[in-house]
Structure 1
Amino acid sequence: MFSDESKFCISFGNQGPRVWRKRGEAQNPRCLKSSVKFPQSVMVWGAMWFGVGPLCFLRSKVNAAVYQEVLEHFLLPAADQLYGDADFIFQQDLAPAYSAKATSTCFKDHGIRVHNWPANSPDHNSIENLWGIVKRKMRYARPNNTEELKATIRATWALITPEQCHRLIDCMPHRIAAAIQAKGAPTKY
């Protein structure tokens, strides 16, 4: 099971089309593109396996206490439903809230085995690629407020198929081989 957080903004910045104009068209309305300096945004925690799991919209900065609440209310129920009493390995990055001593104790108390994951390795994490897929699918959505943004994220997340998740997980050996070949430098993944 893979998990991570991602930030979604109402204004998607430079992901839209570029504006090209000729000399003298500087103020022509069809040659202008508005931008937002500090767009409204939401931070989302999600989980995936051979399908997508629950989403949690975070209301505050993530510290160990907030993360443990996410685990209690979102991860554990999903893991119980999916795995029952069977063992599974949980993957997360090494954010301070995730690797805090209190968080490690929480995992031990619930009998969850956490994969020993290298620091700064987003190329290896399948859910990073999944967030990219969700954001690409949302590229042309233009929510007007954070509630519309959340609804768009939920709807887009629900469209992710188990096959897409399978492909992301199945290509892990290729991602790891590419990282080894690149000696830790960024890869196409």
Structure 2
Amino acid sequence: MCSDENKFCISFGYQGPRVWRKRGEAHDPHFLRSSVKFPQSVMVWGAMSSAGVGPLCFLRSKVNTAKYQAVLEHFMLPAADQLYGDEDFIFQQDLAPAHSAKASSTWFKDHGIPVLNWPADSPDLNPIKNLWDIGKRKMQYARPNNAEELKVTIRATWALITPEQCHRLIDSMPRRIAAIIQAKGAPTKY
């Protein structure tokens, strides 16, 4: 099971059509568009496996070890039940401080969940990074007006992700590893 957090903003980078103006029209209100320096955003934790996606957790603040363990308890464990049933699995997470804290390691040991050893700064290896990008591309024309509408849009988009999409991403792991080895650790197409 692969997991990660990701930030979603109300503005997904679409800036609308470009406007060409004639000299002297630069400050004409007809040609101006307001912008937001710091758009509303939400931070989301999610998990996936080759069987599909688990439930999302919207994070309200920076994640410390205690909050991360609450996410694991209330979202990761139900996701594991949903995706694996009684089958064994290995959990994947990056090396964020809350993830790699001794208390988090103890939580995994206490719950009998093996954690995949993970190299630092390795987004090319994590298929959920691609899944977040797929979701953001599907949402690029959505126009939520506030954080609550953004959450609704994220949930709806996440629900449309198929197990087949997840399976293809998990199946890409051998190719990802080979590409990173060939690139000697440099960025890859993944």
Structure 1 counterpart of 2:167: 166
CA contact (8 A) 2:138 2:157 kept: yes
Structure 1 counterpart of 2:10: 10
What whole-Å deviation, never above 9, does each CA across 1:121-149 have from its counterpart, x for those lacking one? 00000000000000111001110111100
Q: 1:23 corresponds to which letter in structure 2?
A: K
Q: Distance in 1 between the 2:49 and 2:137 partners?
A: 20
Structure 1 counterpart of 2:87: 86
Instruction: Among all aligned residue pairs of Structure 1 and Structure 2, give the percentage whose two residues are the same amino acid.
Output: 78
Q: Distance in 2 between the 1:8 and 1:185 partners?
A: 26
Structure 1 pair 17/84, CA: closer, same or farther in 2 (3 Å)? same
Q: Does 2:49 correspond to 1:45?
A: no
Structure 2 counterpart of 1:147: 148
What whole-Å deviation, never above 9, does each CA across 1:30-86 have from its counterpart, x for those lacking one? 644432111111000000012111100011110111000000001112212332332
Q: 1:8 corresponds to which letter in structure 2?
A: F
Structure 1 counterpart of 2:113: 112
TM norm structure 1: 0.93
Q: Distance in 1 between the 2:6 and 2:114 partners?
A: 23
Structure 2 counterpart of 1:23: 22
Pairing of 1:100-139 with structure 2 (within 5 A):
100-139=101-140
105-114 or 179-188, larger mean C-alpha shift: 179-188
Q: 2:58 corresponds to which letter in structure 1?
A: F
Structure 2 counterpart of 1:96: 97
Q: Secondary structure at the match of 1:90?
A: coil
Q: Distance in 2 between the 1:29 and 1:165 partners?
A: 46
Q: Distance in 2 between the 1:65 and 1:142 partners?
A: 34
Q: 2:132 corresponds to which letter in structure 1?
A: W
Q: CA deviation at 1:163?
A: 1.1
Gaps of 5+ in 2: none
TM norm structure 2: 0.92
Q: Does 2:66 correspond to 1:65?
A: yes
The count of corresponding residues between Structure 1 and Structure 2 is 188
Q: Distance in 2 between the 1:30 and 1:113 partners?
A: 59
For the aligned residue pairs, the C-alpha RMSD in angstroms reads 1.6
CA contact (8 A) 2:49 2:83 kept: no
169-178 or 57-66, larger mean C-alpha shift: 169-178
Q: Distance in 2 between the 1:175 and 1:11 partners?
A: 30
Q: Distance in 2 between the 1:136 and 1:145 partners?
A: 19
